[in-house]
Amino acid sequence: MKRGMYLLPNLFTTGNLLCGFSSVIAALNGQYTQAALAILVAVVLDCLDGKVARMTNSASAFGLEYDSLADLLSFGVAPGLLLYTWILQPFGHFGWLAAFLFVICGALRLARFNVQATSLQRYVFIGLPIPAAAGVIASAVLLSERLTHDAHVAEIERSLFLVLAVYVLALLMVSNIKYRSLKYLRLRRPFPLPLLVGAVLALPIALLVPEFFLFLLFLGYALSGPVESLLRRKKPEEEALPAEH
């Protein structure tokens, strides 16, 4: 039974690895939508393997290393190759550098996470997690393909936006900005009414335009770290101001 428990989370990690490899093959064949979808499925499997490991109390050092290797392919190499073959190749060396920067920053992010996994609080990530960065890229590809098909968005505007986004995401992964971990999110606690209203309004968007909803979801998480960091800096400054008499 113990061996089965250790095997179960690693099966999800293997599925993650398979999705990453499938994304690479699809990108090389020019199937960009399929490549992006494979990355998003890998994000789901990556969340599940950790969840299963915690539920079955079967976390191990082997599983941590195996998960990191799978993540490097699925959320580092696969998104980088997808971006390069899809839209960065015409930029020459600048496009190649943008794709490589995303991969190397993702590798550094994973290495730092493995070193700090036992010393940092489990409720906080230091730097943007690589699955979230890959999710931004994959959802942006899906949304861009949808907009290009429906509204004929200008190619140059789409290209410049994505090049800038790649550099920003790469820097966020190796930054010291703190991000909240969603692994221990408590859904049973009461939430503010505006948040509940926003969740209800998001449902029609998720059903009608799922590409836009996924992009907003991943982009919102990527921006949450810098926004919270700015708010934390502003709050002590406001508290330090002398009160008016």
CATH for 20: 1.20.120.1760
Residue 66 structure tokens: 């195996």
Of 24-38, 187-201, 202-216, give the range with the top mean pLDDT.
24-38
Number of domains in the chain: 1
More confident residue, 191 or 56: 56
How would residue 87 be classed by pLDDT, with cut points 50, 70 and 90? confident
- Is residue 177 one of the residues assigned to a domain? yes
- Is residue 32 one of the residues assigned to a domain? yes
How would residue 245 be classed by pLDDT, with cut points 50, 70 and 90? very low
- The contacts of residue 124 (CB under 8 Å, 6+ apart) are 178, 179, 180, 181
pLDDT of 27 = 95
- Is residue 245 one of the residues assigned to a domain? no
- Is residue 188 one of the residues assigned to a domain? no
pLDDT of 243 = 45
- Is residue 61 one of the residues assigned to a domain? yes
The pLDDT of 238-244, averaged and rounded, is 47
Q: Cα dist. 179→37, 161, 198, 215 in Å? A: 25, 24, 21, 18
How would residue 23 be classed by pLDDT, with cut points 50, 70 and 90? very high
How would residue 81 be classed by pLDDT, with cut points 50, 70 and 90? very high
Q: Which of 107, 109, 128 is nearest to 182 (CA)?
A: 128
Q: Report the percent of the chain where pLDDT is more than 90.
A: 39
119, pLDDT greater than 70: no
Residue 209 structure tokens: 């335009």
The residue range of the domain holding 130 is: 2-183+194-240
- Is residue 158 one of the residues assigned to a domain? yes
- Is residue 44 one of the residues assigned to a domain? yes
- Is residue 122 one of the residues assigned to a domain? yes
